[in-house]
Structure 1
Amino acid sequence: MKKLILILLFASILFACQTNDDIPLTYEEGTNEYINDWIYTQMKRYYYWNESMPGKGNLSLPPKEYFGSLVNKNDRFSYAIHTSSAETFPQSLQNSFGFDLSFMEYEGQVYGVVMYVLSKSPAERNGLERGQLITAIGGTALSQENYNNLYQNLLATKDAKLQMVSYSEKSGFTVPKQINISQGFSFLQPVLSQVIPYQNNKVGYIEIPHFYVGLSKSLLNAFQEFKNQSVNEVVVDLRYNGGGDVSSATALSILLAPNIQSTNQFIRFKGNSNGGEVNQTFKESLEMNESQVSFEALRAAHLQIRRVYVLCGGHTASASEIIINNLKPFMEVITIGEKTVGKDVASFPVEDDRIVGAQAKWVLYPAIYKLFNANGEGNYAAGLQPTVVLKEFQELEVFPLGNMNEILLKQALNSMSGNRRSIKGMTIQTLKKQNLNVVSEPLVIKKTWP
């Protein structure tokens, strides 16, 4: 009896000493508090900037808003989505219609120039082509005062109504026509490659729109054809490549880099105190998401080159920037165009799997790792400056990608003969799209820690 009394007395003292903070709170399933408490826990564990995060704060906020309240002010890329809520997904014309615009002014007229059109996209099916000029959106003519608002409206609509003209130096402007495009899906994009005879060189040109998982086979085929045709210079067009799979980017690097071994370090991931540092060789980085194409097969298609020309710009991000930064320890990388996005972070998806079998769930894409090359060089959040600075749109006539008259490719070809001075075009003012979030692909890596 005395022992029982002592045990009960000790237990009551312990209970009395507990504070409210010692008692874990539980929330009703499905409430904002239930979701946001989970979000906070995951961010505290995985987020690169976890030590600068605020306290839990107001857990009753909508989850998208709550997630944003935890994100570091220098972080442009972390986001959260709900798998059954389309409005939580990053918005872009590429995702909605399969194209994107830049804006420019010439002789007092504002034009939207079509930068690219994805293959088999709603835009392509309705006749949109790179280089076409948009003069009105939704029936409203473009001007200095309204082009940003009209672009924002275009992002939010499901049906695009565009007034178009085309221009060539030889024949001038065409008659305006209207194109109507409805939202739809665009699927995996093909790699475009060709061999260009130029002076005493055979130039292999390859345009890669996205580093999707499994791209290695297509890259291998393209480079094998380059090798068959004795290519001795390579131009890689990444100006509209927003990133994707690190293994596919590694495959391209293996094809390009001279004198490398499978055991050479290729990439370094630096995380918070929980994640630590992960160093990967070329072989390890390739095999994260690639099982069909080996390091040895890729090396067999390597060309006898010591340098590579990379065409880049304000849409070059993530895995594309890895190509530029992580090849530098192994070869000369000559970049031509404009400053890249500056996405020097990697993520892996963190899913809310507390409800077994649930299809609708929150998925977080927080910045988990900072990226560095084999020499420890990284920290390019402000973007990578090109070797040759050159604006893509300097003339009203815009040539297709891969055309020898296209301004960035033309500069690369000129540089091969020793002329690295930027090509001068006519006076066109490029207009900036204001207050727009950068939409790029999360750098896909496998989850390397619990």
Structure 2
Amino acid sequence: MKHSHYTFIYLIFFLWASCSKDKDITNENEAELNVNNVSNISENPGLILGSWNLNKNNSSQNSDKSDTDCKAINIHFLEDNAFYLSYLEKRIKGKYEIINSDSLNLLIGSDIIGNVSKIDVTENTISFLLEINNECKQSYTGEKYFRIHQFIWEILNDYYLWQEEVPNLSDDIKPVGSAKYKELIESYPEPEAFFESLKHQDDKYSSISSNYEDIENSIKGIDANNGLEFILSRYGSDDSILGVVTYILEGSDAATKDIKRGDIFTGVDGQKLNLSNYRELLFGDNLNYTLNMAELSNNLLVPNGKNIELTKTEEFQSNPIQINKIIESGDKKIGYLMYNQFADGFDDDLNDVFSDFQSNQINELILDLRYNGGGLVRSAVNLAGMITGQFNGEVFAKYLWNRKLTAYFNSDPESFSDNLRVNFTDKLDDGAAINSLNLNQVYIITSGRSASASELVVNGLSPYINVIQVGDNTYGKNVGGPAALYDYIDNNRTKNPDHTYAISCMTFYSANSQDFYNYADGLAPQEELKLTEDLTNMGTLGESSEPLLALALNHIIQESSRYKIKKPLFPLENMIDDPKFIQKRSLSTLKDFPPLKLN
């Protein structure tokens, strides 16, 4: 790997990396606004796609002296008709709607907030008149901005797990700016499309975000949330979708409404849910929606006339410790913990739970990770230390990188030991002692929504203690990578002020101390402990009669008649990877890496 600069890898969700800012790849030619030579964006909407850096056009023929300057610096048009606009020292996101050959409206929700007119595009330049209702009006000339492309390509070329298997990431394309590189980016003016073009065919996880603050908030479990947690599933012979409520977050809007675990909905705002509309209806920018509820009747899903209005609270932070309790049966003291995300900032709370388990001298533990999509490696390691305690300093997990990084880290394995493996620990990051149970056996409840860091716990503990898995196969995410790779412009980790893009690419396989990492199809319970959740019998979480908990308790107590387990009538299958789950299925760490001289 040849670089003329220092690059940092900064592990944040999985890993944070950096690259230095090279010279932007832009077209030097400027196009002035010419109303007689207007591009037809109705016939060719692809002309406007991409990110455009803007300069105010001061020519008298284009601006009235009374116009208020929008101070716009960048506008970005995406293929899904979304736009981002930086103006008046703020950044907004919305949808655009082409209305004729040279004009489009800018919308936020259903409200038109402005328009772009007199659009003319010539190669890598654009000119137009921007007007934001009741705020400003100004003509601009812009150049297509390819720095984001450069950032994407350099990061993937250095760190991507499958770099050697993607021809367009070959070192032969270097240097950036070469004829091969220019040919590569010409077909993809939009950064998102360029990123997707570079992904390996087996890569289901790498992603790009135009706003890294969204990623940083997700690490902490912060988002716009109404408190309703649900799983979406396809049903019937068409593209219909149902949602089933899994649990309600404490202190949320949903906690105040007449809705509970096991309730089913098939519509939103009067529209039947399907594969084409569920993202916009449930995960769009709207803070309010109304669920149209349904129920099973004679083996059919039918609307029941009940409608539930819900409102999302912005920057809502959920506590991943959903339930913790002690169940006593005979001489057994059984700790039960439902933990729903390895989120930043909750390890002290988790340690307090294990302090309570310690003082009550539990002799069995049931760890419920059925809805835990992943999170921080650090929290997963801390949890493993709380369950055990007798393996401090031993290898919990290993990182298996691409050939470039493997060679680099192995060149000095002592200095880069933290890049190659993560060990059991007996202390939290703040130095507090971990409250360890020193168990030699643990029951872990899993489902198809147990992913990434949850699977790391199962796989990492298995070489050391008896891990008894209960429920359904896990998701099968055996790879990790950065939640946020930033475009740093110097060795002080200064983020590029010209854009807010970050990428999350898979950079390593996650293996246990015995080098096992081949669980892309999920980790499976033994046959007698396999059970899928049932739409007709979801039960109450934390209650001994809840089917998956009951199955674990029966195995512990060895009284098969204690809790009756019914075969699922409507098993929760055909689950959809919705945007919220995709965001959570992470394997991350906040640990800094030392600077790497990529020679």
Q: TM-score, normalised by structure 1?
A: 0.79
Instruction: Write the distance in 2 (CA, Å) between the matches of 1:84 and 1:305.
Output: 40
The whole-number CA distance in structure 2 between the counterparts of 1:366 and 1:411 is: 38
Aligned partner of residue 488 in structure 2, secondary structure: coil
Inter-partner Cα distance in structure 2 for 1:399 and 1:316:
19
Structure 2 Cα separation of the partners of residues 36 and 420 of structure 1:
60
Map of 2:290 onto structure 1 = 161
Contact 2:532–2:568 (CA<8 Å) still a contact in 1? no
- Of the three residues 256, 270, 276, the one matched with 1:139 is 270
- Higher mean displacement: 372-381 or 424-433: 424-433
Report the residue type matching 2:467 in the other structure.
V
More displaced, 77-86 or 219-228? 77-86
Number of the residue aligned with 1:5: none
- Select 2:569's aligned residue among 427, 434, 441: 427
Q: Contact conserved, 2:477 with 2:519, CA < 8 A, in 1?
A: yes
CA distance, structure 2, for counterparts of residue 206 and residue 85 of structure 1: 30
Residues 1:353 and 2:488 are matched in the alignment:
yes
Larger helix share, 1 or 2: 1
Matched, 1:396 2:536: yes
1:384 and 2:383 correspond: no
Q: Structure 2 vs 1, CA of residues 112 and 263 (structure 1 numbering), >3 Å: closer, same or farther?
A: closer
1:280 maps onto 2:421 in alignment: yes
Which of 133, 142, 150 is the equivalent residue of 1:37?
150
User: What is the distance in 1 between the residues matched to 2:531 and 2:289?
Assistant: 31
Kept in 2, the 8 Å contact 1:48–1:272? The answer is: yes
Does the 8 Å CA contact 2:532/2:571 hold for their aligned counterparts? no
Q: CA deviation at 1:26?
A: 3.4
8 Å CA contact retained: 1:268, 1:376: yes
Q: How many residues are matched? A: 404
Structure 1: which amino acid aligns with 2:547? I
Paired residue type of 2:567: G
- For residue 328 of structure 1, the aligned residue among 462, 471, 488 is 462
Residue number among 435, 450, 453 corresponding to 1:319 in the alignment: 453
Alignment match of 2:160 (pick from 47, 66, 70):
47
Q: Could you say what secondary structure the match of 1:72 adopts?
A: coil
Structure 1 distance, partners of 2:576, 2:587, is 25
Structure-to-structure mapping, 1:49-448, within 5 angstroms: 49-55=162-168, 56=181, 57-59=184-186, 60-83=188-211, 97-98=226-227, 99-103=229-233, 112-140=243-271, 147-149=274-276, 151-157=278-284, 158=286, 159-164=288-293, 176-185=305-314, 186-191=316-321, 192-257=323-388, 259-260=390-391, 262-276=392-406, 278-283=419-424, 290-294=428-432, 297-298=433-434, 301-348=435-482, 349-354=484-489, 358=497, 360-387=499-526, 388-393=529-534, 396-418=536-558, 423-425=565-567, 427-433=569-575, 439=582, 440-445=584-589, 446-448=591-593
One-letter code aligned to 1:391: T
| 1:251 Cα offset (Å) | 0.8
State how far apart, in whole Å, the 2-side matches of 1:308 and 1:86 are.
Answer: 35
User: For residues 429 and 389 of structure 2, what CA distance do their matches in structure 1 show?
Assistant: 23
- Per the TM alignment, residue 85 of structure 1 is displaced from its structure 2 partner at its CA by 9.5
Cross-structure match for 1:12 = none
1:265–1:279 Cα contact (<8 Å) kept: no
The SS at the match of 1:75 is: coil
C-alpha contact (below 8 Å) 1:53/1:70 kept by paired residues: yes
Question: Which amino acid letter does the alignment assign opposite residue 196 of structure 1?
Answer: I
Rounded to whole Å, the distance in 2 between the matches of 1:224 and 1:174 is: 47
Q: CA deviation at 1:417?
A: 2.7
What do you get for the CA RMSD once the two structures are aligned? 3.5
Cα 1:303–1:177 change in 2 (3 A) is same
Partner Cα separation in structure 1 for residue 154 and residue 440 of structure 2: 48
Matched residues, percent identical?
Answer: 25
Q: 2 CA distance for matches of 1:432 and 1:345?
A: 23
Residues in 1 aligned to 2:462 and 2:509: alpha-carbon distance in whole angstroms = 17
Structure 2: gaps spanning 5 or more residues: 1-22, 28-51, 54-143, 169-180, 297-301, 410-418
Amino acid at match of 1:45: D
State the 1:58 CA deviation: 2.8
Whole-Å Cα distance in 1 between the matches of residues 247 and 156 of structure 2? Answer: 36
Specify which structure has the higher proportion of strand.
Answer: 2
Question: How far has the Cα of 1:126 moved from its partner?
Answer: 4.1
Kindly provide the CA deviation profile for residues 247-291 of structure 1, in whole angstroms up to 9, marking residues without a partner as x.
11111101112631x22111100111232164335357x87xx52
* Amino acid in structure 2 at the alignment position of 1:228: S
